[in-house]
Amino acid sequence: MFYAKRNDAIEFAHRTRKNLEYIEEASEEWNDEVHPIVQLANSLLGLVVFPMARLAVQRFKELPLTDLEDLGWPKVHITLDKDSPPRTSRCASQRSSWHPTTTLYDLVRHLRNSAAHGRMTFSSDSPKPEKVEIRVEDVPPDSKTPHWKAYMTAKELRVFCEKFIELLDNTLG
């Protein structure tokens, strides 16, 4: 069996954060040759998606988004949040039942689907995070129509990723 520190979800997230910080610093010197917004989008996997998938923190299913906003987390602007067709599956436990996006777990699930299926678009090519709006959407399997859409600035996404890793560190030690 393979073992490396980077197989640990928290360690992988910390290394992803270091890489992101390095690219952010390098972008000041290298201008258009390195792009911090692209690195941020790539880092979403290492900072949020992998840790959530590997650790499946049940507490996040009970953590309301409104509580996070009260703690300084950025607001994710959800513009579409509707029922999707039920998934066809032989196993009843794999069928998804819809409910509105109200918890951190719900939000991260949608962000994961958006990132994994290339459903992210950017408002500009600016390297400045406050000048780039990132739109994400989640599309159910066997459909072409999104059932969930949201947006935030790249600056807000960066803060979200930082807060998420801090929360994992505090939750899991």
pLDDT tens digits, 47-79: 887 777 777 667 788 899 999 999 999 999 999
In the prediction, which pLDDT does 86 show? Answer: 53
Average pLDDT over residues 157-173: 86
Give the position of tokens 């010197």.
29
Cα-based angle 155, 152, 13 (whole degrees, multiple of 5): 60
Tokens describing residue 135:
């739109």
Whether pLDDT at 153 is above 80: yes
Confirm if 40 and 131 have CB atoms less than 8 A apart: no
Q: Report percent pLDDT > 90 for the chain.
A: 40
Confirm if 128 and 150 have CB atoms less than 8 A apart: no
Confirm if 163 and 73 have CB atoms less than 8 A apart: yes
Residue 92's pLDDT band, with cuts at 50, 70 and 90, is very low
In sequence order, what are the residues at sequence separation of 6 or more whose Cβ sits closer than 8 angstroms to the Cβ of residue 30? none
Whether pLDDT at 44 is above 80: yes
pLDDT tens digits, residue range 106-123?
999 999 899 989 999 999
Structure letter (DSSP) for residue 99: -
Other Cβ atoms less than 10 A from the Cβ of 165: the count is 19
Whether pLDDT at 88 is above 60: no
Residue 89's pLDDT band, with cuts at 50, 70 and 90, is very low
CB-based burial of residue 144 (10 Å sphere; 0-12 exposed, 13-18 middle, 19+ buried)? exposed
From the list 45, 6, 29, the residue with the least C-alpha distance to 127 is 29
